[in-house]
Amino acid sequence: MSALGLVLAAGTAAAGVRPAAHASSAELSSAVQEGLGQVKPVRLTLPEPTGPYRIGTLALHLVDHSRRDPWKPAKPARELMVQLWYPARSVAGHARAPWLSAGVAALQLRGLPAGTVRLPDSHGHLGAPVERSRGGRVVVLFSHGFGADRASGTALVEDLASHGYVVAAIDHTYDAGAVEFPDRRVETHAASSPPPNFDDPQDPVATKAVAARQADVRFVLDRLGALNRGRDVPPGAHALPKGLKGAFDLSRVGVFGHSLGGATSAAAMHADARIRAGANLDGGMFGPVLRAGLDRPFLLIGSAGHGRDNDRSWAALWPRLRGWRLQLQLQGSAHSSFTDLQVLLRQHSLGLPPEQVEEMIGTIDGPRSVLIQRTYLRAFFDRHLLGSPGRLLAGPSSRWPEMRFVP
C-alpha cells in the first residue's frame, strides 16, 4: 500500500456503480505526490460520540483452525484481528486507543514528510472495565470495504458503543489494506488479482471475497459466544477487561458494513440465522443472497446517485427482501462518505486536489454527514434489536432533509 493506502482503497472500492470520471489509484497517487509540498502539519480528529456512555475497546487475535486462508492457501488457518467496542464503567487509568495500530499507521504514512499529518486517536479506552447491563448488551458486527480496514468505520462504530451497543469490527485479512497482529507482523492486501469489477454482481473476485467474509463473520460470532462464557480466551488476550464475561446478548445480533462490507452484511445474514438485522452502506451485492433474498430486516443506504435504478444487484435483491426493508439515499454524499474519510479529508486533503476530494466524499458537510448516518443507523438497530421503533424510519424528516426515502 502507498502512504495513502486507506484513502486510495476507500476511493476505489466501488459501490457497484462508479461516476464516469472516476480517477484511478495511480492518478490519485500522482495528485497526492504533486501536492505534498503544500501540506501543512495537522492533527486529525474524529467526531465526539453522541451517547451517554464512555467507551472501552480491546483488540482480539482470533484464529480459525477449521479452514485454510482463502487468499493464501499455504496458511493452514485463517487469522483475523477484531476490535471490540463497548460501554465502559470507568475509563480512569486507561489510555485512548489509536485510530490505527502502530504498524498499519507507519505503512499508511510511508512516503509523507515527517510532521505532515498526525492520525487521530479513537474515543475508546484500552481495556476499560465493561458497563454491564442485565441480560447482556446487544451485539453488532462491522465489515469494512475492500482494501480498507476495521478502523475505517470508527466514527459510526464508536457512536453505537456510546449508546450501549457492543460492536465487533472485523479486519478481513488479505482483502483488507493492512492488518497488524500481536507479534507486530503486518499482513497486506493480496486479493486483487485479477482486479475485481464491482459493477458486475457475478464478479468472481468480489464473490470469493464475500464468501470468505461471511465465513469470517460466522466465526467471530462463534468466538464471541465462547468469550461470553469465559472460554477459549484468544492468544494475547490474557488480561480481558473486567466484566466482559457474560456481557453480550447474542440473541440480539446485527451487522452492517460499507461497500463490500455491505455485501458481507447481506451474505452473513443469509448464511447465519443468528443475525437478526443488517444494513448496507453503499455497497454492491454478490453471492447466493441475490437469489435467495432475506426474511429479516435489511436497510440500504446509498450515496447520491446510487440506488436500484443503476445498481443491478440492489434491483435484484429488493423484491427478495421479504422482511422489513427500507432504501435511503444521502444527498450530497459520495462512496467514501460512509467512512471516516468523510471528516478526515475535510480536515486535511493530503495533497488531493479539491475535485478528487469531492469525488470521494461528496459536497455534504463532513460532521453533518456523520451525524445523519449515526442517527439513522442507530434508529435502525434500536428498532429491530432493541424493540424501540421510534418515528424516524417512518418517512422523511424536516430535521434531516438530506436523507431521501426511496420508494
Mean pLDDT of 57-75: 96
Task: Note the pLDDT tens digit of each residue in 129-144.
Answer: 999 999 999 999 999 9
Predicted local distance difference test score (pLDDT) of residue 149: 97
Residue 18 has a pLDDT of: 35
In this prediction, residues 100-115 reach a mean pLDDT of 84
| Predicted confidence band of residue 111 (pLDDT cuts 50, 70, 90) | low
Q: Which fold has domain 5-406?
A: Rossmann fold (3.40.50)
With b for 16 or more beta-carbon neighbours within 10 A and e for fewer, the 86-100 pattern comes to bbbbebeebebbbbb
With cut-offs at 50, 70 and 90, classify the pLDDT of residue 239. confident
Residue 94 clears pLDDT 90, i.e. is over it:
yes
Q: For residues 245-265, give the mean pLDDT.
A: 98
Q: 1: pLDDT confidence band, cut at 50, 70 and 90?
A: very low
3-state secondary structure string across 309-357? CCCHHHHHHHHHECCCEEEEEECCCCHHHHCCHHHHHHHCCCCCCHHHH
pLDDT of residue 21: 31
Phi-psi domain of 111 (left: phi exceeds 0; alpha: psi -120 through 50; beta: other) = left
More confident: 26 or 158:
158
- Check residues 142 and 23 and name the one with the higher pLDDT: 142
| pLDDT on residue 17 | 38
pLDDT reported for residue 288: 97
pLDDT of res. 376: 98
Per-residue pLDDT, 351? 75
Task: Report the SS3 class of residue 285.
Answer: coil
- Residues 185-219: tens digit of each pLDDT: 999 999 988 899 999 999 999 999 999 999 999 99
Q: For residues 84 and 56, give the distance between their C-alpha atoms in angstroms, rounded to a whole number.
A: 8
> What does the pLDDT read at residue 362?
98
The mean of the pLDDT values for the chain is 90
pLDDT at 14: 41
Residue 33's pLDDT is 42
Residue matched to cell numbers 447481506: 266
Specify the pLDDT at position 5.
Answer: 54
pLDDT tens digits along 338-378: 999 999 999 988 778 999 999 999 999 999 999 999 999 99
Which stretch of DSSP H or E encloses residue 379?
helix 366-385
Q: Where is pLDDT greater, at 215 or 237?
A: 215
pLDDT in tens, 298-334: 999 999 999 999 999 999 999 999 999 999 999 999 9
pLDDT of the residue at 108? 83
pLDDT surpasses 70 at 29: no
pLDDT category of residue 6 using cuts at 50, 70 and 90: low
Peptide bond into 49 cis (omega under 30): no
What is the model's pTM?
Answer: 0.91
114: pLDDT confidence band, cut at 50, 70 and 90?
confident
Mean pLDDT across 142-164: 98
pLDDT (average), residues 145-158: 97
**What pLDDT shows up at residue 30?**
37
